[in-house]
């Protein structure tokens, strides 16, 4: 008697595994399970069910609460673009970018250039928006790595450096600092030394990854944002782009917890810089000897209050979208 050999298709886990990065990007953009399933079928001819995709995402840590949940697919996509443009405009404007919000939206939406505005300003806007996309792609990761930070730095800073002492996608190789004024005098304030930076950033990443696993509430997300943001700025691990990276990275725990990003408004630039300056001056230069990432937390009470107020703008935008464009059941 001849045995009948039955061939079976690959289990859905094997079928979907090669496309994990694509699924992660689709999820980060706000795509629903149904939309991701349809997209996988369209792109790769994969015959898998919605339940199979949902199970795969859960198994691989790609299924998480999102602030875009409960909003229709079309509005979800538009809201994400709107938030990305606002986030990009405000963050680059704080660093001196001359493009207006309208200019920023035109550059990102239509690829237009604005007459009379520097090419670098256009490039910085496009690079920051790509940085937002990359941050979104990291949401499903269980652990953020040094390589992730280096990749984000390359994306945000843009072109490769030709100066070995000012590398892109690597820790700074020269000490850096900033100037401020106290009692009518100009004062130089150093950040962490280049030699201390790698170990200090290892400590920062350790605390940062703890937050990714533990942040659940809005209050905890606020605390995680302030901690990650200020501690990163104290170290200033790169030769350039530290402010933009701090405002991007500190939002990862916020997004992981299912809340919209905290955006520092450009009009609050002076208050924002003053609070960071005064805190750093009060607690001293961070080093491997003075290695507490964020000492004297009470000194951050005013900044924490400001951040909470700034956050309300994106919280309101999302709430409005959920009221005006609910997700069909």
Q: Environment class of residue 203 by beta-carbon count within 10 Å: exposed (0-12), middle (13-18) or buried (19+)?
A: middle
43: in domain:
yes
- Identify the domain boundary among 59, 76, 96: 59
Residue in 122, 128, 229, 236 annotated catalytic: 236
Residue 94 maps to a domain: no
268 falls within a domain: yes
Domain with residue 298: its CATH number is: 1.10.3290.10
236 is catalytic: yes
Residue 189: helix, strand or coil by DSSP? strand
pLDDT of 167 strictly over 60 = yes
pLDDT digits (tens, 9 = 90+) for 185-220: 999 999 999 999 999 999 999 999 999 999 999 999
Indicate the number of domains in the chain: 2
pLDDT tens profile 86-124: 999 999 999 999 999 999 999 999 999 999 999 999 999
Give the residue-averaged pLDDT of 281-296.
Answer: 95
Q: Tell me the average pLDDT across 280-294.
A: 95
Q: Does position 184 have pLDDT exceeding 80, yes or no?
A: yes
Do 187 and 278 sit in the same domain of this protein? Answer: yes
The answer on 191 and 47 residing in a single domain is no
* Alpha carbon separation from 74 to 21, 254, 306 (Å, rounded): 22, 23, 32
Average pLDDT, the chain: 90
Q: Which position has the higher pLDDT, 254 or 49?
A: 254
- In a domain, residue 39? The reply is yes
In Å, what is the CA distance from 171 to each residue of 85, 154, 241, 279?
A: 28, 11, 12, 23
Tell whether the model's pLDDT for residue 242 goes beyond 70.
yes
Q: Is the pLDDT of residue 61 over 70?
A: no
Distance CA 93, CA 114 (A): 15
Q: Are residues 50 and 197 part of one domain?
A: no
Which of these three, 24, 44, 59, is where a domain ends? Answer: 59
Say whether both 169 and 40 belong to one domain: no
Burial class (CB in 10 A: 0-12, 13-18, 19+), 214: exposed
Q: Which domain holds residue 307?
A: 142-322
Same domain, 17 and 163: no
DSSP-derived secondary structure letter, 71: B
pLDDT-derived band at 9 (thresholds 50, 70, 90) equals very low
Residue 44 has pLDDT above 80, yes or no: yes
Cα Rg of the chain, angstroms: 22
Residue 97 lies in a domain: no
Give the range among 36-40, 54-58, 96-100, 147-151 with minimum mean pLDDT. 54-58
In-domain check, residue 93: no
H or E segment at 300?
none
């Amino acid at each position: 008697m001849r045995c009948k050999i039955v061939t079976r298709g690959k289990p859905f886990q094997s079928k979907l595994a090669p496309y994990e990065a694509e699924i992660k990007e689709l999820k980060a953009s706000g795509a629903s399970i149904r939309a991701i399933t349809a997209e996988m079928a369209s792109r790769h001819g994969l015959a898998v069910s919605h339940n199979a995709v949902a199970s795969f995402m859960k198994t691989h840590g790609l299924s998480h609460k999102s602030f875009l949940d409960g909003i229709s697919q079309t509005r979800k996509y538009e809201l994400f673009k709107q938030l990305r443009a606002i986030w990009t405009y405000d963050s680059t404007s704080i660093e001196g970018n001359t493009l207006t919000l309208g200019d920023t939206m035109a550059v990102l939406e239509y690829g237009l250039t604005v007459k009379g505005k520097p090419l670098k300003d256009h490039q910085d806007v496009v690079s920051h928006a790509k940085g937002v996309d990359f941050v979104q792609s990291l949401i499903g990761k269980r652990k953020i790595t040094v390589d992730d930070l280096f990749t984000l730095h390359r994306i945000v800073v843009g072109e490769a450096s030709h100066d070995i002492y000012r590398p892109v996608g690597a820790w700074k190789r020269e000490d850096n600092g900033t100037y401020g004024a106290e009692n009518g005098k100009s004062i130089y304030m150093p950040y962490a030394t280049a030699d201390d930076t790698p170990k200090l950033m290892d400590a920062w990443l350790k605390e940062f990854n703890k937050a990714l696993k533990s942040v659940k509430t809005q209050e905890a997300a606020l605390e995680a944002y302030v901690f990650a943001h200020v501690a990163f700025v104290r170290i200033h691990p790169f030769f350039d782009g530290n402010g933009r990276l701090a405002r991007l990275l500190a939002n990862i725990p916020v997004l992981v917890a299912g809340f919209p990003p905290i955006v520092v408004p450009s009009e609050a630039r002076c208050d924002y810089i003053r609070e960071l300056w005064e805190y750093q001056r009060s607690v001293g230069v961070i080093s491997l000897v003075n290695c507490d990432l964020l000492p004297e937390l009470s000194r951050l009470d005013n900044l924490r209050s400001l951040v909470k107020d700034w956050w309300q703008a994106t919280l309101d935008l999302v709430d409005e979208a959920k009221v005006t464009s609910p997700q069909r059941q």
